[in-house]
Structure 1
Amino acid sequence: MPRGVTMDEQIKQALAAVAGQFADKRVHVCQVEVTAVTDGRITLAGAVLDEVTLTAVLSHLAATCPEYALDATAVTILRPPDRAKLAVCTTITGLYNSPGFLSEPGSYLLNGMRLEPLRADGRWLFVRQEDGYLGWVYEPYLGDDPSAVPTHLVCEPVALLRQGPDEKAALVNRVLAGTAVAITDEQNDWQHITWAGLPGGWLPAPHLRPLAGLPQTAAAQRAQLVADAPRFTGVPYLWAGISGYGIDCSGYVQLLYRLAGLTLPRDADMMFAAGQPVEPPYRPGDLLFFGSEGGHRHISHVGLSLGGWQMIHSSRSRNGVFVDEVTAVPHLRDTFAGARSFLKD
């Protein structure tokens, strides 16, 4: 034990050190505390996301305090194996940072997205998305994981769902780009869809993209990204947004890649960390990243290169999705932090 450090302080320092490995609350939970140190035993309580997190905590404590036995029976593991998943059963809903509609959203969830329920607080559930993102969702908007296997993605920013295969038929609902649906019938240039928890209806066939036909090569993926990107021009900027109702910079990029059959992390800094660095000249589909003002390179913005420095992005300053030439916009030029690619050429 370091000179002048009590055992209680040493244990707290050890817990703080291992908790730092799981500090990103968007994807981790590591809330462990010591409730007692008696008779050669350290008693722990709290919650962790999974067994991997708990193992890391116990291993670090065991190495730091080898003379103590560890009791973690009061630590809750939020992700037990084989827990049944739920699905979003409304058109779109928020994923909030705490339970309650007045909380700030961290993201949004499209119909049919599958969620792992981790814990409950009244009518709110703390959930994990398939990409690992965590947050709170209103439980009445969820239902059992649908049995119908999705066959298509909606590719129109906001598609109008109708009762019959006719543009004059009554409106049933609106379906947002990126929503996975199952096709059950076809008539002329219309397709009937089913989706999670809501009445089905008819969409124009061009508004749907077969999952089996998503691009497989980098060249085809780049072409798809560039073809889809302008369809969202003018969609307003919305913090945490992911849809044609409103979208933020990383939500826009993530959605474009989803429509091309690729899964990206949710936030810009996550994308920057996960992507492969690339250098100019930038190719269509490469991602351009930007840091905060004043030289601090915390990643705070991302856009899609259309080739070179021409970029389409959801811009807070322009309040929506528009094209900019990076080198001609001072606040973009001065905060550029680098580029990344997720395409395997």
Structure 2
Amino acid sequence: MKFATLLCAFIAGFGLSYGQLPKQMQKTIDQVRQQYAPDRRVAIFQIEADENGILTGKTNLPEAKSDLLQKLSNAGLKYQDSIQTLPAAILGEQIYGVVNLSVANIRSQPRDAAELATQALLGMPLKVLNKDRGWYLVQTPDHYIAWLDWGGFQRMNQADFESWEGAEKIIVLSPYTFSYEETDADGQTVSDLVAGDLLKMLDEKGEFYHVQYPDGRTAYIKKADARPYAEWLASLTISEDKLVGTAKRMMGLPYLWGGTSYKGVDCSGFTKTIYLLNGWVLPRDASQQVHSGTLVDTDRGFDKLRPGDLLFFGTKAGETTAEKVTHVGMWIGNGEFIHASGKVRVSSMNARAPNYDDFEKNRFIRAKRLLGNARGVQELKAMVN
């Protein structure tokens, strides 16, 4: 009791009563988190302070940690830094990765039964942040952070990763196909493939490309199913017609929560895939995509919309409730939009149309245009080494 009394008096002597120290530190932590990592889907800043001023937790943002420590020092708050900066030391030099399956399922937690958070295509580069048994916390090029099991990707050190990234690639353009052990489409398969997959080009042999997987496997792919990546990228000219054509080629695909591939899509995974196959990388979720592009005026109806515009749906803000964007589709013209709901399908905003979607129209929030203003979007051409 005497020690506790003396401790309280000691802290009070510095202008802080017992219990105020962690509260004041936590307030500063929350301010830094809001500045650097407001969206926990794309950044990690899980830091806490205990009653002794010991800072624990983890972050993948060294600049945010540095700013936090500086702010605490400036405020005269004594702390002990026990924050783990990711990538974790347990990973060693292998803090890079490349997806090794046609479609890798990335989950919200490090277990098979966890919710599917997103998907990544073969050849996609990853940042590896942490490990939990046979699972790895990874970050995709659109900054999404979630868990991937060891079999879904090839871990690499910086030299191997840069070698892979700098190698000539081919991109798969057929919705579904296979690679083969030999130049024989009736022979033994190596794996399945979907549109958007990337493989290292080794050489050409007749009607086949000779390719290599991130883990070193080699195979052959029919030229009719793929194209040299650099050549494909140089040929891209995104347009309203091409976006609509890409979207309609996915008609009937099953809805899959977390899906971003021809094996299944959710609503934002569908719009993301449309734009990806036209050379643009959108944010992952509808609530993130809504911040891209520029607002289209829909106050008097949908006459000002253009094909390729994104339509966002959900719950509008109320007096005591915040807006919640939960669904997205893409305008295709003639009063219609295409979206993943049950399956990829076309719905109309016209009450007289047979495919009128009263449910979606009543929860429509706003529309955004990306063509002409790609704010919040990455272009693949700008991401090439």
Tell me which interval the TM-score lies in, with the shorter structure as reference length: 0.7 to 0.9
Q: SS in structure 2 opposite 1:131?
A: coil
For 1:142 and 1:219, the matched residues in 2 are separated by 31
Asked if the contact 1:214/1:261 (under 8 Å) is kept, the reply is no
Is the deviation greater in 191-200 or in 136-145? Answer: 191-200
* One-letter amino acid matched to 2:361: R
1:68 and 2:73 aligned: no
CA pair 172-241 structure 1, distance change in 2 beyond 3 A: same
> Partner of 1:168: helix, strand, or coil?
coil
Which consecutive residues of structure 2, in runs of 5 or more, have no partner in the other structure? 1-14, 298-302, 351-355, 374-385
- 1:325–1:215: structure 2 CA closer, same or farther, 3 Å change rule? farther
The 5-angstrom pairing of residues 110-189 of structure 1 reads 110-145=121-156, 147-148=163-164, 149-165=167-183, 167-186=185-204, 189=207
> Who is 2:213 aligned against?
195
Q: Secondary structure at the match of 1:269?
A: helix
User: Residue type of the partner of 1:13?
Assistant: K
Shift of 1:96: 1.2
- Which structure has the larger Rg? 2
CA displacement 1:235-257 (0-9 Å, x = unmatched): 10000011111111111111121
Match for residue 100 of structure 2 among 86, 89, 95:
89
Match of 1:323 among 323, 327, 346: 346
Name the CA distance, whole Å, in 2 between partners of 1:2 and 1:331.
Answer: 55
Separation of aligned partners in 2, 1:150 and 1:307: 38
Q: Is the counterpart of residue 35 in structure 1 residue 58 in structure 2?
A: no
Please name the residue that 1:236 is paired with. Answer: 254
- Between the aligned partners of 1:124 and 1:152, the Cα distance in structure 2 is 29
In 2, distance between residues paired with 1:248 and 1:266? 10
SS at match of 2:245: helix
The code of the aligned residue for 1:67 comes to G
Following superposition, the deviation at residue 204 of structure 1 comes to: 3.7
Deviation string 1:279-307 (CA, Å, 9 cap, x unpaired) is 35222222111113897631111112222
Q: Which amino acid aligns with 2:139?
A: R
Unaligned runs of 5+ in 1: none
Alignment check: 8 A CA contact 2:22 2:51 kept: no
How far is the alpha carbon of 1:99 from its aligned partner? 0.8
Asked whether the equivalents of residues 317 and 324 of structure 2 are also in contact (C-alpha less than 8 Å), the reply is no
Report the counterpart of residue 263 of structure 2 in structure 1.
Answer: 245
Taking a change above 3 Å as real, the CA distance of residues 193 and 8 of structure 1, as seen in their structure-2 partners, is closer
Cα RMSD (Å)? 3.1
What is the alpha-carbon distance in structure 2 between the residues aligned to residue 251 and residue 160 of structure 1? 23
**What SS class does the counterpart of residue 50 from structure 2 fall into?**
strand
1:290 pairs with 2:313: yes
TM-score, with length taken from structure 1: 0.84
> Which structure is higher in strand share?
1
Distance 1:32 1:287, change over 3 A: same
Shift of the 136–219 alpha-carbon distance from structure 1 to 2, 3 Å rule, reads closer
> Is the contact made by 2:100 and 2:152 (CA closer than 8 Å) also made in structure 1?
yes
Distance 2:240 2:233 in 1: 9
Check the 8 A contact 1:119/1:125 in 2, yes or no.
Answer: yes
Does the Cα contact within 8 Å between 1:163 and 1:169 map onto a contact in 2? Answer: yes
Asked if residue 299 in structure 1 is aligned to residue 325 in structure 2, the reply is yes
- Contact 1:283 1:308 (C-alpha < 8 Å) held by counterparts: no
Whether 1:77 and 2:116 are equivalent positions in the alignment is no
Secondary structure at the aligned position of 2:138 is classed as: strand
Contact in 2 for aligned 1:162/1:202 (Cα 8 Å)? yes
Output aligned runs, 1:4-15, within 5 Å: 6-15=20-29
After superposing the two structures, state which structure 1 stretch, 152-161 or 118-127, moved more.
152-161
Q: TM-score, normalised by structure 2?
A: 0.76
* Percentage of pairs with the same residue: 26
8 A Cα contact 1:157 1:243, kept in partner = no
- Aligned residue pair count: 335
**Other-structure match for 2:8:** none
Contact 2:97 2:153 survives alignment (8 Å): yes
Q: Secondary structure at the match of 1:173?
A: strand
Q: Is it true that 1:333 corresponds to 2:322 in the alignment?
A: no
